[in-house]
Structure 1
Amino acid sequence: MAFKDIRSFMNLLEKRGELVKVTAEVDAELEITEITDRISKQYGPALLFENVKGSNYPVLINSMGSDDRMSWALGVNELDDLERDIANLINMQNYIKIPSLIRSIPNLMRLLAVFPWKLPMKGACQEVIEHHPDLSTLPVLKCWPEDGGRFFTLPLVMTKDPDTGVQNTGMYRMQIFDKNTTGMHWHWHKDGREIYDKYRQLGGKMPVSVAIGCDPAIIFSAIAPLPKMIDEMMFAGYLRKRPVKMVKSITSDIYVPADAEFILEGYVDVNEALRLEGPFGDHTGYYSLADMYPAFHVTCITHKKDAIYPATIVGRPPMEDCYMSKATERAFLPLLKMIYPEIVDYSLPFEGVFHNCVIVSIKKRFPGHGKKVMNSLWGMGQMMYAKMIIVVDEDINPHDTKMVANHIFKTLDLKEDLVFSQGPLDALDHSSATDHYGYRLGVDATRKFEVEGKMVEWKIAEQKDFTSYLETHPQIQSFDYPLQGVLQGCLIVSMKKQQSGDVQNLMHELWNQEEMAFNKFLIVVDEDVDAKDTSKVAWKVFNNIDAKRDLEIVEVSDQNFGHRVGIDATKKTTLDQHPRQWPNDIVMSDEIKEKVTRRWSEYGIN
């Protein structure tokens, strides 16, 4: 099903019992976030807040916050259908032989929908035109207590390359500075930054238009890691099976989606000094730190007469963006398989927050094949951010994290099977000692050819209980040391760090205990982490480690079991000679938590 605009998608959600309308007055500052965060963690419905304090516009949130809603948003029954759809499109065998070509006519006809239509008249997004804009009238959220202010969280930022005239659409958060100025979060690796740098060579004002409240296929296309030669509106047209209608902005020649709820028009003065933007509670579950970015000056706002303001919140998973990540995963698997036919499947687990963990299964054909694949992926677009890539054989389901963990714990050679790769890191990575650059970790968990060495089978079933020792240890706050199951062979402890070297000293002390003879993995987290919360521990590992600095690999020569590894997933400070500021975890204030708990029955959400 194709959606004309965000409203038609909302109507579908309401018919299917997936939208709850909240009539009680709510505050866009923190209260909406706390309500939505609770609903996201309960895998609950989309929410429409109809009465937002200080604004005439309702707020739609969590509209794509489930597998079902994300699938419906892209016109499929389930996300695997999206994968099959795109795989069928790019399979050239369909177009070589006449019978196959005839069967592919529906696909070829669908391609006619990819080209946007430029309308000669105004669009629905321009029913109301405000030449004296005031951003304070919009119900823009302040999401988390330490945020630098209110942020647009689903803006589609549209710019035009001054050399080619080609438009680009990307999603970059925008902090409100005053009634007609916002930040523009263009960091190094983004297309918007590249276009901005071109304008800097020219000088003057760079025209920008921002669409808010488009149909879900357009929203998804703005975040999709598309190759530069593919226009986001063309991709959206393919997904929605009808062309995107575009209209010219009122104050510039940038074309915008005609059926958007709001359009912000204006410019970035490339000669103007950068402004401090942030902090912002980001999708990693941490605050991204304040930094210097360009300012966007809003000169005109257009919108529908009864406009709806869509937003999202991000933070520790699960959140709405996790399902967008899964859709991205499914949509781009066919492209990966076309370039690397040995790839069977891959998974981006929620705890990896998009780019911190990729698990990929392959048909292994030769020695070193696993290492070849991980290095190839690091060379592909946004895959360069992948902080950890785990490669397994085709009979291991990458979506079954228990199966993957069990396979790794039993068979990994912790000396030969790890690859430390130095290269680009995401701007949000806080664990590296240097900005945007550091170490990525590759884990080759495929079965070995003879020249790759022997599989080392640890006798983890023989590990002994030493609960009493762990319970009475003065530094250990909590622990998990399962004697059976998937995590057998792994000890997780939380500790309070007091001085430099505490983590390494504790690791060595524990490894010297007789009962630890068959321990293969030792993970240390901070005292505020429950060691038995496996999901939170995994999230801390993926976020907090610098692969080269925080893994200690030691040989267990007396047992002839190869090597074991200690993982320091604690917060790094000056005690650890970490030169950069470490961001705080995103946590809602007690005051807002108490307010939402007290008012919960007023919201009418089951």
Structure 2
Amino acid sequence: MGYRNLQECVVDLEQRGMLLRIEAPLDPRLEIGAVQRRVYQAGGPALLFTNPVNCRFPLLGNLYGTLERTRFIFRDTLDDIRCLVDLKINPFSLLKNPLDIIKAPAAALHLLPATTRNAPVLECRTTLSNLPQIVSWPMDGGAFITLPQVYTESPDRPGFGRSNLGMYRVQISGNSYEADRQVGLHYQIHRGIGGHHAEAIARGDLLRVNVFVGGPPSMAVAAVMPLPEGMPELSFAGLLAGQRIPMVRQPGQLPISAQADFCICGVVDPHKTMPEGPFGDHLGYYSLTHEFPAIQVEAVYHRRDAIWPFTTVGRPPQEDTSFGAFIHELTGPLIPTVVQGVKEVHAVDAAGVHPLLLAIATERYVPYAAERQPQELLTIANAILGQGQLSLAKYLFIAAHEDAPVLHTHDCAAFFKHMLERVDWSRNLHFQTTTTIDTLDYSGSGLNEGSKVVIAAAGPVRRKLSAEVPAGLEFPPEFGGADVCLPGVLAVTGPVSRQARGECDDVIEQFCAYYAERDCFEGFPLIVICDDARFAAAALNNFLWVTFTRSNPATDIYGIRAENRGRHWGCKGALVIDARSKPFHAPPLVDDPAVERKVDELGAPGGPLHGII
């Protein structure tokens, strides 16, 4: 049986030495978030801040900070969920383990939420200004709820069966929000709440919204799960909790999670938006101020012993990385059942998740051909880009399973080596030049607007990759300094970008022209132009972050000896990606030096974090 609420979880983790109480008075503005990030990076325990400055509620951070701790929290139900996943993949598994059929129906009983009158969350009422005012980064536009569970139901077909529980950003102070009356609701495209919002607009109705904070730990995981269309997140939360999620009904409001620590109830005017942001986000940059819906708050409830869970996000890896790894463990085996022919898909966390997908799939078309070429891979790539949040990817690299059956997408270095040994830039690039990308990605032509490229490789090795900077390499004016990121990948420092949004840059075209008659990049099929080649090459994660968060395929991919054949673009020499910071990009997240010094003091001898950070 899993935890019914956050209080049970905290007590258990503390008794097992997996949670540390921090009694030092720390400010929810910048300080507490900085501590959580540092402890996460050190692989440290969950943190309960019992004395936050100007805050009456204890704050819980880093709860899901390690994959091992996340597995432990849900240890009682993981086997049941794996059983149900396995049954979907292979019903014949019952012949090997017939007792599993006994478990499956028992777990299925937890799919439906339970209606209850016992609701600790309704014990007390408060106001928005009395909630913890956590500000994670110096340029954030106000305080945000960073682990919200936003609950809505279909206006056309209300009820649990058409509900959505999502982790959408909620700003509770700042900007022009009316104090204690309004909060910002930022949801990205391709989110379940968007359908409910569209229905409300069509009907001319208000959209009712409840924001839960805390409660059963399974609720937070369910809110970020990429579930199949039609499966309510509350059902998955029940499976993961090992018990039905108790909900309470209040007159005129949506159902409320009875064991939640907090609940904000309100309505969204479907025709009204307000400025929301900035906010330091998980790509490692600020998402800027834009118009988003706002919730008109009607009530704020909390339980008497309420705990406020939070996280901070920033350049990966962060705590949401552990979320992603746990979700992949649960859902990874289902991917081949969703898209025929797919073996693996990896949304690369170090590149901000949505910018970069790596995939392995079958290439079975024309099996009698003398040489394998990407054909079925392209069919499968289109199917991948039509799946839920995967549709927001900018770069999809897809390899043929038959070429290397032991290759895995989570070994990024090996995967890139495999691709770059085989790719033919003259025919293996396939663009979508005007389409949707992640709301948080500012590399494109506008908010939610950008491009995609599929890079497919199949067949034998075409080239040998180099791992050393070419001797005597010369550079055109304003360029200089080169470092090897990976075998076959060379980073080159370029001049400061003056590129306009949605336009290509003549400076990079001139770079490519400079080398058109010079055979300088033998063994380097990929060149990355960046602001600091040494930084990009210092670590694999640096290369992934710089290259794929700072480039838009349609405007930032160039080629040496490029050519057009009909409407198809390719190049005979190296592919060049312009991954410099552009004038229209959002600023990167930078820690406050004074705050970091205070965190250092907490880790000094005698400090509460000594031996942890």
**d(CA) in 1 for partners of 2:340, 2:316:** 31
Match in the other structure for 1:71: 71
* Cα deviation digits, residues 281-327 of structure 1 (max 9, x gap): 11111111211122212222221212100011111011011121222
**d(CA) in 2 for partners of 1:245, 1:347:** 34
Q: 1:118 to 1:417 in 2, by over 3 A?
A: same
Q: 1:508 to 1:8 in 2, by over 3 A?
A: farther
* Cα deviation digits, residues 124-146 of structure 1 (max 9, x gap): 21222x2xx42222223111111
**d(CA) in 2 for partners of 1:389, 1:358:** 5
Match in the other structure for 1:391: 398
* Cα deviation digits, residues 255-298 of structure 1 (max 9, x gap): 12211111112222335x32111111111111112111222122
Q: 1:403 to 1:200 in 2, by over 3 A?
A: same
Q: 1:505 to 1:86 in 2, by over 3 A?
A: farther
Match in the other structure for 1:22: 22
Q: Which amino acid aligns with 1:389?
A: L
Q: 1:69 to 1:102 in 2, by over 3 A?
A: closer
Match in the other structure for 2:582: 572
* Cα deviation digits, residues 358-407 of structure 1 (max 9, x gap): 22222432251211211111111111112222222232111111211221
Q: Aligned ranges for residues 33-432 of structure 1 at < 5 Å?
A: 33-75=33-75, 84-91=82-89, 93-94=91-92, 103-119=100-116, 121-128=117-124, 130=125, 133-166=126-159, 167-176=163-172, 177=177, 178-203=179-204, 205-249=206-250, 252-270=252-270, 273-366=272-365, 368-392=375-399, 393=401, 394-422=405-433, 423-432=435-444
**d(CA) in 1 for partners of 2:497, 2:86:** 57
Shifted more, 380-389 versus 359-368: the winner is 359-368
Shifted more, 368-377 versus 203-212: the winner is 203-212
Q: Which amino acid aligns with 2:101?
A: S
**1:490 Cα deviation after fit:** 2.2
Match in the other structure for 1:451: none
**d(CA) in 2 for partners of 1:56, 1:221:** 28
Q: Which amino acid aligns with 1:301?
A: V
**1:347 Cα deviation after fit:** 2.2
* Cα deviation digits, residues 479-537 of structure 1 (max 9, x gap): 3137xxxx233211233326553344345546765553343211111249713223122
Q: 1:518 to 1:159 in 2, by over 3 A?
A: closer
* Alpha-carbon contact 2:521-2:574 (below 8 Å) kept: no
**d(CA) in 2 for partners of 1:356, 1:498:** 21
**d(CA) in 1 for partners of 2:341, 2:353:** 22
SS class of match (1:431): coil
SS class of match (1:182): strand
Shifted more, 387-396 versus 149-158: the winner is 387-396
**1:456 Cα deviation after fit:** 5.4
Shifted more, 5-14 versus 461-470: the winner is 461-470
**d(CA) in 2 for partners of 1:24, 1:346:** 44
Residue 547 in structure 1 maps to residue 559 in structure 2 = no
Number of residue pairs the alignment of both structures matches: 574
**1:89 Cα deviation after fit:** 3.2
Match in the other structure for 2:369: none
Q: 1:45 to 1:475 in 2, by over 3 A?
A: farther
* Alpha-carbon contact 1:325-1:348 (below 8 Å) kept: no
Q: Which amino acid aligns with 2:395?
A: M
Match in the other structure for 1:502: 507
Q: Which amino acid aligns with 2:193?
A: G
Q: Which amino acid aligns with 1:420?
A: F
Q: Which amino acid aligns with 1:125?
A: V
* Alpha-carbon contact 2:346-2:410 (below 8 Å) kept: yes
* Cα deviation digits, residues 389-433 of structure 1 (max 9, x gap): 222223211111121122122222122222213432121221111
**d(CA) in 2 for partners of 1:496, 1:16:** 54
* Alpha-carbon contact 1:415-1:553 (below 8 Å) kept: no
**d(CA) in 1 for partners of 2:451, 2:349:** 21
Q: Which amino acid aligns with 1:153?
A: T
SS class of match (1:335): helix
* Alpha-carbon contact 1:86-1:331 (below 8 Å) kept: no
Q: 1:218 to 1:544 in 2, by over 3 A?
A: same
**d(CA) in 1 for partners of 2:497, 2:572:** 32
Q: Aligned ranges for residues 576-591 of structure 1 at < 5 Å?
A: 581-591=584-594
Shifted more, 381-390 versus 38-47: the winner is 38-47
**d(CA) in 1 for partners of 2:560, 2:474:** 22
Stretches of structure 2 lacking an aligned partner (at least 5 in a row): 367-374, 499-504, 564-570
Q: 1:339 to 1:295 in 2, by over 3 A?
A: closer
Q: Which amino acid aligns with 1:442?
A: V
**d(CA) in 2 for partners of 1:539, 1:123:** 44
**d(CA) in 2 for partners of 1:549, 1:154:** 35
* Alpha-carbon contact 2:513-2:560 (below 8 Å) kept: no
Identical amino acids, percent of aligned pairs: 26
Stretches of structure 1 lacking an aligned partner (at least 5 in a row): 449-454, 574-580
SS class of match (2:110): helix
**1:584 Cα deviation after fit:** 0.6
Residue 441 in structure 1 maps to residue 453 in structure 2 = yes
* Alpha-carbon contact 1:358-1:388 (below 8 Å) kept: yes
* Alpha-carbon contact 1:213-1:308 (below 8 Å) kept: yes
Q: Which amino acid aligns with 1:144?
A: W
**d(CA) in 2 for partners of 1:199, 1:246:** 23
Shifted more, 22-31 versus 38-47: the winner is 38-47
**d(CA) in 1 for partners of 2:136, 2:80:** 31
Q: Which amino acid aligns with 2:220?
A: I
SS class of match (1:93): coil
Q: Which amino acid aligns with 2:541?
A: S
* Alpha-carbon contact 1:322-1:353 (below 8 Å) kept: no
* Cα deviation digits, residues 5-53 of structure 1 (max 9, x gap): 1222223433443322111000111111221222222232221111110
SS class of match (1:310): strand
**d(CA) in 2 for partners of 1:544, 1:38:** 25
**d(CA) in 2 for partners of 1:238, 1:275:** 37
**d(CA) in 2 for partners of 1:77, 1:6:** 17
Q: 1:370 to 1:245 in 2, by over 3 A?
A: same
Q: Which amino acid aligns with 1:283?
A: H
**d(CA) in 2 for partners of 1:528, 1:21:** 42
TM-score, normalised by the number of residues in structure 1:
0.87
* Alpha-carbon contact 1:274-1:294 (below 8 Å) kept: yes
SS class of match (1:157): strand
Q: 1:409 to 1:139 in 2, by over 3 A?
A: same
Match in the other structure for 2:501: none
Q: 1:102 to 1:288 in 2, by over 3 A?
A: same
* Alpha-carbon contact 2:420-2:525 (below 8 Å) kept: yes
Higher helix share: 1
Please provide the CA RMSD for this pair: 2.9
* Alpha-carbon contact 1:413-1:456 (below 8 Å) kept: no
**d(CA) in 1 for partners of 2:397, 2:84:** 25
SS class of match (2:109): helix
